[in-house]
Amino acid sequence: MDGRPVIRQLPQALINRIAAGEVVERPASVVKELIENAIDAGATQITIDIEEGGRKLIRIVDDGRGIAPDQLPLAFAPHATSKLTDDADLLSIRTMGFRGEALASIGSVSRCRIVTRTNDGDAAFGMDNTGGEVTGPTPAAGNVGTTVEVRDLFFNVPARRKFLKATGTESSYVTETVLKLALANPSVGFRYSRDGKVAHDLPPGVDRLLAGWPKEFRDQHLAVDRRDQDYHLHGIVGLPELAAPHMRYQYLFVAGRPVKDRHMIHALREAFRGLCEPGRHPAAVLMLNLPPGAVDVNVHPQKLEVRFRESNRVHALVMSSVKQALLGANLAPKLKPKVEEPEPPRENVRETLAAFFKQDLQQQTRLENVQPVETTEVAAPPAVPPSQGDGSSNGESREEVDPALPIRGAIQLHNSYLVTQTDDGMVIIDQHALHERIIFEDLLQRIRRGNLESQHLLMPLTFDADGRQLEVLETLRPMLLRLGIDAEAFGPDAVAVRSFPSFLHKLDPVDFLQQLLQRDESELEKADDETVLHEVLDMMSCKAAVKAGDPLTPEEITALLARRDLVSRSSNCPHGRPTTLRLSLTDLERQFKRTGF
């Protein structure tokens, strides 16, 4: 009958393009497949170049064993692999690739060229795959090893190409991929450049475990190394203070593959329980190696999932080895003053943050049309007058005034610490941490009351920003507006700031926004609204607070200490570090060996 659909075999090129979607989601997935191939080929040095976040060019050069000319046509053929010969192999996979579809898929959605030479070959050969159309091999110039160039990814799948994010975002996915593979393969050198600029140059071996963390974390890690029969866990964990509200410093590997395994994540969190604020994620790079039969890595090739035969054993191993590392470390100072216990995060912090998003913009921000205030030098500690009419009205109980701390004159040491006498001993206060805490609480109260006065700048302030930063700004803009920050894209590569909270008049708006937008990778894009708000408030407090090293006048010291007991949770700064160390007379007597007489 007319109009009845006919069942047809799809052309192979179309099948490949559909299959490609399984393997190739974005430039980072191409980079992953190609680096894995290079590692499987025994490369000792891998060079990765990308342009425009990988959408224009991805080039991976390796010094591995190369592909013999007669094998080369097979490399681009679907389901052709040198890595899997029978079913039994599926259970004991040791190489990275095993489906034999990466190159075929990549070639079907890009202009891809392979140039390769084996160490016994006297010439290199090149082969092209342009959207599934394969030509070659033909003799070419090249060193021993393989170069794969992928240009114009998704040029023939416009829907897919449109789906790609801004250059900066795609680059950051690629960076994450490169770092994970570099962490898992410390004996291979990696050199990674974005648009001609070297982003990471990682020689084999040296300090590879630290490659995924910011440089300043270097000295703040503990080694983890433990075996349980044929299971082996090794790596590093960051000191508790490195725990972050995001998971970017957490790299977990099983059998050399990056994973997001809930058993390992949970065990790690348990090991840090009580040492860092709940809701923060410990920094860790952990490698779990176990016999091939103990783990199924084939659950989903793209999804970072694995299935353990004995997940409890994995959990126990991770938790106990990390705990042991933390216990072995001298986390506590020699003289043991009482560090005021971190209180659990109050429900109402989260509630306040959540409520913020439900309030009406109108009542939130009050725009004041005033001139920008000159930034003054040292912050007079209470950046704001003590707030009134807050807590009690919504049923929150204010922290009781600390009876042990009527101020009896404090002295400042090293322009960083305030030392004062209490009824039963003395306290040492970290001036920055305390001030930060005070400002954070003030911000919360302001949000709760819904009055964040904003100051309109007569002349907008502008600064340069890249595409990814503009994208982040776009996402954050509604929240920032409600916090009194009016900043938006100003042309294709700049940001204009039009107003800024009057409360934060001591901050440089440009400096603040630049730092906010520079928070790299997808940190701010992936987090939920409340986490991002918490982060922004943290940043405001940290930047507005007096710094370690700032000299304070006696009046400033008194003002700062006077605020201490007005603020809830003042014994910890927003990052969960203590603000106050307490030494009782008994502690002192014990130290001076006066006891027992």
Kindly state whether residue 41 participates in binding ligand ADP, applying the rule CB under 6 A: yes
Kindly state the smallest distance separating residue 77's Cβ from ligand ADP, in Å: 8
CB closer to ligand ADP, 148 vs 317: 148
Residue of closest CB approach to ligand ADP: 97
Is 276:230 a contact under the CB 8 Å cutoff?
Answer: no
Kindly state the smallest distance separating residue 72's Cβ from ligand ADP, in Å: 9
Q: What angle is formed at CA 29 by the lines to CA 27 and CA 32, rounded to 5 degrees?
A: 115
Kindly state whether residue 75 participates in binding ligand ADP, applying the rule CB under 6 A: yes
Is 20:105 a contact under the CB 8 Å cutoff?
Answer: yes
Kindly state whether residue 126 participates in binding Mg ion, applying the rule CB under 5 A: no
Burial of 426 (0-12, 13-18, 19+ CB in 10 A): middle
Residue type, 595: T
Kindly state whether residue 99 participates in binding ligand ADP, applying the rule CB under 6 A: yes
Kindly state whether residue 98 participates in binding ligand ADP, applying the rule CB under 6 A: yes
Tokens of 156: 């023939």
Among residues 16, 17, 31, 37, which is the contact residue for ligand ADP, using CB under 6 A? Answer: 37
Kindly state whether residue 102 participates in binding ligand ADP, applying the rule CB under 6 A: yes
Q: Which residues contact 136 (CB under 8 A, 6 or more apart)?
A: 72, 73, 125, 126, 127, 128
Kindly state whether residue 78 participates in binding Mg ion, applying the rule CB under 5 A: no
Kindly state whether residue 142 participates in binding Mg ion, applying the rule CB under 5 A: no
Kindly state the smallest distance separating residue 85's Cβ from Mg ion, in Å: 15
Backbone φ and ψ of 165, nearest 5°: -85, 180
Among ligand ADP, Mg ion, none, the one that 115 touches (CB under a kind-dependent 5 to 8 A) is: none
Among ligand ADP, Mg ion, none, the one that 132 touches (CB under a kind-dependent 5 to 8 A) is: none
Kindly state whether residue 552 participates in binding ligand ADP, applying the rule CB under 6 A: no
Q: Which residues contact 20 (CB under 8 A, 6 or more apart)?
A: 104, 105, 106, 108, 109, 157
Among ligand ADP, Mg ion, none, the one that 64 touches (CB under a kind-dependent 5 to 8 A) is: ligand ADP
Among Mg ion, ligand ADP, none, the one that 365 touches (CB under a kind-dependent 5 to 8 A) is: none
Among residues 54, 69, 97, 137, which is the contact residue for Mg ion, using CB under 5 A? Answer: 97
Applying CB under 5 A, what is the total number of residues that bind Mg ion?
3
Tokens of 366: 């009050």
Kindly state the smallest distance separating residue 102's Cβ from Mg ion, in Å: 4
Kindly state the smallest distance separating residue 198's Cβ from ligand ADP, in Å: 21
Pairwise CA distance, residues 546 & 26, whole Å: 44
Among residues 56, 83, 234, 323, which is the contact residue for ligand ADP, using CB under 6 A? Answer: 83
Residue of closest CB approach to Mg ion: 97
Residues 100-119 vs Mg ion: string with x where CB under 5 A?
Answer: --x-----------------
Is 51:193 a contact under the CB 8 Å cutoff?
Answer: no
Secondary structure letter of residue 294 according to DSSP: G
Kindly state the smallest distance separating residue 532's Cβ from ligand ADP, in Å: 38
Kindly state whether residue 436 participates in binding ligand ADP, applying the rule CB under 6 A: no
3-state secondary structure of 113: strand
Secondary structure letter of residue 217 according to DSSP: G
Kindly state the smallest distance separating residue 104's Cβ from ligand ADP, in Å: 6
Pairwise CA distance, residues 44 & 66, whole Å: 13
Backbone φ and ψ of 200, nearest 5°: -145, 125
Kindly state whether residue 43 participates in binding Mg ion, applying the rule CB under 5 A: no
Q: Please report the DSSP string for 27-75 in residue order.
A: HHHHHHHHHHHHHHTT-SEEEEEEEGGGTSEEEEEE-S----TTTHHHH
Q: What angle is formed at CA 312 by the lines to CA 222 and CA 179, rounded to 5 degrees?
A: 45
Kindly state the smallest distance separating residue 99's Cβ from ligand ADP, in Å: 5
Residues that bind ligand ADP (CB under 6 A): 33, 37-38, 41, 62, 64-67, 75, 80-83, 97-104, 146
Residues that bind Mg ion (CB under 5 A): 37, 97, 102
